[in-house]
A and B are shown apart, each in its own frame.
Chain A
């Protein structure tokens, strides 16, 4: 199936780009990492499309690739980050990293083994459809929706307070 091939291609791209964000052998430039993160997000949007989550795919590109990553770039330029020098990895850091990654992998493997894929899964419904999503959001999930507005308000006040501290 063409969609299967596309899934594997996009999944591979997501993983490769994601790896290049944190460990790029060719460049230690933070801007390069940020751009690879944009590519990761866009390939993930492709995966959402394959899952029929069209609204989510569009929003993924709009909010994450188009807004959040611009902020990241601005912050990199705000701090005027230069290419990071290669530094020696400390032993404690190494141990902590290996342990935490191992723990996460263990959880993933366990949960994967715990789920038994059944043959007769229910046919996927069009949850990615904007109208369905809207119906759910404004009936069943209305309170979370309203709480989001408070969350956004808090973020707004916080960012203004932090960046305008020296002004009156």
Chain B
């Protein structure tokens, strides 16, 4: 299973090296479809408005609660951290396990991988329709994922996702 995917990856990588020829060939017809996206920019007005609305609403809630809320009296016990009724021992924040760092790092790598998949998904169907780019578009992603899957298998083998211990 593993070897099959690796082999596929290598073969498609080789076949995708045809990119040089493609570069010299005239661009496919679809490129003419690029239209100036003037209709898109005004749409972001809504995002801006929602952002202002969101900040105003959440800020307003906190300010309102500050004004309306009961003013309580502070006491020493009230100001201590909550540890189920015991007096807090030591500092509030402790050092983290290195595993969280590992997860965050792997998250970035997979996130980038996913980001590359979106433009691929968008052009996939139109490039399938074109005989010249048909195998290339499938092969390029299979090799991309194949190479990354090797890394994923390595991570699994090295028990990077194992939280039991």
Main secondary structure of the interface of A (DSSP, over half): helix
How many of chain A's residues touch chain B, expressed as a range?
35 or more
Please indicate the chain A residues that have their CB under 8 angstroms from the CB of B99 in the complex. Answer: 163
Answer yes or no: A111 CB below 8 A from chain B CBs. Answer: no
Q: How far is the CA of A138 from the CA of B116 in the complex (A)?
A: 10
- Cα A123 to Cα B37 with chains together (Å): 12
B104 touches A70 (CB 8 A): yes
Known contacts A67-B108, A146-B144: A157-B154 contact under CB 8 Å: yes
Cβ–Cβ contact A135 & B28, under 8 A: yes
Q: Does B8 contact A (CB under 8 A)?
A: no
Q: Can you name the residue of chain B whose Cβ is closest to the Cβ of A167?
A: B159
For residues 98 through 153 of chain A, which have their beta carbon under 8 Å from a beta carbon of chain B? 123-126, 128-135, 137-140, 142-143, 145-146, 148-150, 152-153
Q: List 27 A-B contacts (CB under 8 A).
A: A52-B41, A55-B119, A66-B111, A67-B104, A71-B105, A75-B101, A78-B98, A131-B33, A134-B120, A135-B31, A138-B119, A138-B136, A142-B22, A143-B16, A146-B13, A148-B112, A149-B145, A150-B147, A152-B148, A156-B152, A156-B154, A157-B151, A159-B105, A159-B106, A160-B154, A163-B102, A164-B159
Residues of A within 8 A of B (CB): 3, 49-50, 52, 54-55, 59, 62-63, 66-68, 70-71, 74-75, 77-80, 123-126, 128-135, 137-140, 142-143, 145-146, 148-150, 152-153, 155-157, 159-160, 163-164, 167
